């Protein structure tokens, strides 16, 4: 069931989304080579809780941390660990914060030190996929146009789009309907409505689109070929005359 948000609910979402954005800015200022992914997670926990919010990934279906910290070949849901971040890594940090009953969700992929031209380009194109997806987006646009635009831009650049995971609606729950795939056929799917809040989150691989789910921790998703992946996400409000990116 898709929940259309009231103006009051949107106000509350703006607040949690602002906290998510500020937390990612804080992480961006502090993340560096030599840190472990657990240390990044500690920064996230500290910042979000200092805002009077809750890092809603913590405990979500048993998830053990406040953030997903995904290095290089880890696509998403990298469980914070003793893995040390190295110079030249790309690290995506995906966080969700809840305040007053509403969630915000966003992800950035950070460049650590001296990153190869190849990986820089992957990160740049992944961000571009998001902005292509929201061009002209507004109430009435078919849902799968989003994925179509992401897929077209990624593949035009020689990359592949992860199929096994999607974006999603968001609000009083972290994951609401509808699923928002990063691939699809233009002109298909339900028509977006004003007051919908969705997470658009391209997950783009340098090589194959295929991924593996960790049997050890039950969460970590890696590329099947071990090549790097990037992830970029914002929470977006659909309006009659456009969109509002709540986590920017
Ligand atoms: N923030 C993630 C998303 O974009 C949710 C991760 S669920 C977790 O949907 F439990 F892995 F944290
Ligand atoms: Co997220
Ligand atoms: Co999300």
* Within a domain: 124: yes
Q: Domain count of the chain?
A: 1
Residue nearest to atom 7 of ligand 1 (CA): 57
Tell me which residue range forms the domain holding 14: 7-245
One digit per residue, the tens of pLDDT, for the chain of length 248 reads 999 999 999 999 999 999 999 999 999 999 999 999 999 999 999 999 999 999 999 999 999 999 999 999 999 999 999 999 999 999 999 999 999 999 999 999 999 999 999 999 999 999 999 999 999 999 999 999 999 999 999 999 999 999 999 999 999 999 999 999 999 999 999 999 999 999 999 999 999 999 999 999 999 999 999 999 999 999 999 999 999 999 99
pTM score of the predicted model:
0.98
Separation of alpha carbons 193 and 173, rounded Å: 18
CB 160 within 8 A of CB 205: yes
Examine residue 2 and state whether it is found in any structural domain, yes or no: no
Task: Look at residue 1 and tell me if it is in a domain.
Answer: no
Residue 129 is part of a domain; what is its CATH number?
Answer: 3.90.230.10
In ligand 1, the atom with minimum distance to the C-alpha of 96 is 1
For atom 2 of ligand 1, which residue has the closest CA?
A: 94
80 within domain boundaries: yes
25 domain residue, yes or no: yes
Residues with CB under 6 A from ligand 1: 57, 60-61, 63, 68, 77, 94, 96, 105, 199, 201, 219, 233
Task: Give the residue, by CA position, lying nearest to ligand 1 atom 11.
Answer: 77
Distance 234 CA to ligand 3 centre (A): 8
Work out the number of other CB atoms within 10 angstroms of the CB of residue 118: 10
Please state, in angstroms and rounded to a whole number, the distance separating the CA atoms of residues 88 and 36.
15
């Amino acid at each position: 069931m898709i929940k259309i948000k009231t103006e009051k609910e949107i106000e509350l979402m703006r607040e949690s989304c602002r906290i998510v954005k500020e937390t990612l800015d804080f992480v961006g200022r502090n993340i560096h080579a030599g840190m472990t992914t657990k240390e990044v997670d500690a920064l996230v926990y500290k910042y979000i809780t200092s805002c009077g919010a809750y890092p809603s990934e913590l405990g979500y279906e048993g998830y053990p941390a406040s953030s997903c910290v995904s290095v290089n070949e880890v696509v998403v849901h990298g469980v914070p660990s003793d893995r040390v971040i190295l110079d030249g890594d790309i690290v995506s940090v995906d966080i969700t914060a809840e305040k007053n009953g509403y969630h915000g969700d966003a992800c950035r992929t950070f460049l650590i030190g001296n990153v190869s031209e190849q990986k820089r380009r992957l990160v740049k194109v992944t961000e571009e996929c998001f902005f292509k997806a929201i061009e002209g987006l507004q109430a009435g646009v078919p849902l799968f146009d989003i994925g179509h635009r992401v897929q077209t831009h990624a593949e035009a650049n020689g990359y592949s789009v992860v199929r096994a995971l999607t974006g999603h609606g968001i609000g009083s729950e972290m994951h609401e309907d509808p699923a928002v795939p990063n691939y699809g056929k233009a002109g298909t799917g339900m028509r977006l409505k004003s007051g919908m809040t969705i997470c658009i989150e391209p997950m783009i691989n340098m090589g194959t689109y295929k991924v593996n789910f960790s049997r050890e921790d039950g969460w970590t998703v890696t590329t099947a070929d071990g090549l790097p992946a990037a992830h970029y996400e914002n929470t977006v409000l659909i309006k009659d005359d456009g969109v509002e990116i709540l986590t920017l």
